[in-house]
Amino acid sequence: MEHVIIDSSQDGLPAVAGRACRVPQPGAVEAEFTGPDGTLVQRRWVEAAVAVRFEQLQPVAAFPVVPGRRWGPGWWWSATTGGHIPHGSQAMCMQLMLLDRDPQVVGLSARPVRLIWRDPGSGRVLTWVPQVFIRYADGRALLADCPAHAGPTGDRAARAAAVLGAACAAVGFTYRRLVPPEKVVAANVRWLAGYRHPRYRDAGGLEQAVLEAFAAPRALMAGAVAAGEVLSALPVLYHALWGGRLVADLTRPLGEHTLVAPGPAAGDGEQEQHGR
């Protein structure tokens, strides 16, 4: 028996509109991942998803270097994990920033698993390696890809999305193609990410002064001036914005007149997780 899924975008980017895609039963999908000794292990997906902590695994395959592209593979230092996560594109790096800033995210890894299945129509063996695995504080898990554009995807990616969507749903996971953020949001998060390291949290002993300066909403620069020496206070302020102890509207350009207010994590000593 096979499922039929149409437009299985799973809250992310749409697959090819109106196209039906026949996918195998989740029990027929295999998972390949790196074992503790560095060798590749293959198990049934429905078993591996329950037993394996994918957020702790190394990539099952390296990101390719494509000649002629302006952006190649790199590394992102994660405030969530306290370690480096490889990425293969600028779009993926941006999504890692957004995920790293999400207080509900407790685990991140890149390309930790390859899904393998036999196409019901052609009988060919097909594979797909999702770019990111995310573990949330409540135990939820997300496999995701990070396309560069918010638009319909190609045929191969759309078919893979259908298979991964069904396979993930069968084990309580979710699969998504993550929507790229708006340019202003991306620029603001990229700026704040420069202050994600824990060394900025109480740099110069100014954390409490900065939080007190924004006990009530006020302009960013006015609060920095009130907290002490501006050049010393700003990194602490930006770190607090990164970690959620302070909040601002990041859909508008971040500047001296940006209104900054206390955030839901203000005063929460338990919020610090590496760089948070």
Instruction: State the Cα–Cα distance between residues 249 and 252, nearest whole angstrom.
Output: 6
Where is the domain boundary, 160, 177, 194?
Answer: 177
Whether residue 131 contacts residue 144, with contact meaning beta carbons closer than 8 Å, is answered with yes
Chain mean pLDDT for the chain: 90
Fill in the amino acid letter for 163: V
Residues 165 and 255 in one domain: no
CB atoms near residue 210 (< 10 Å): 29
Beta-carbon contacts of residue 185 (< 8 Å; ≥ 6 apart): 250, 251
- Determine the pLDDT at residue 66: 82
Contact status, residue 79 vs residue 275, Cβ threshold 8 Å: yes
Q: How far is CA 62 from CA 80, 210, 212, 227, in A?
A: 22, 42, 46, 46
117 and 196 in a single domain? The answer is no
Owner of token pair 């698993």: 113
| Residue 53 domain-assigned (yes or no) | yes
| Domain interval for residue 66 | 3-177
pLDDT in tens, 215-236: 999 999 999 999 999 999 999 9
Q: At residue 162, what is the residue type?
A: A
H helical segments located in 81-200: 90-101, 155-170, 183-193
Confidence bin at 267 (pLDDT 50/70/90): low
Residue 155 has pLDDT above 60, yes or no: yes
Q: What's the total number of domains in the chain?
A: 2
Same domain flag for 137 and 200:
no
Q: Residues 123-150: what's their mean pLDDT?
A: 96
Both 103 and 231 in one domain: the answer is no
**Count of CB atoms within 10 A of residue 237's CB?**
28
Q: What is the pTM of this model?
A: 0.87
pLDDT of residue 90 exceeding 70, the answer is yes
Q: In terms of domains, do 234 and 159 share one?
A: no
Q: Are residues 30 and 105 in the same domain?
A: yes
Assigned domain for 61 exists: yes
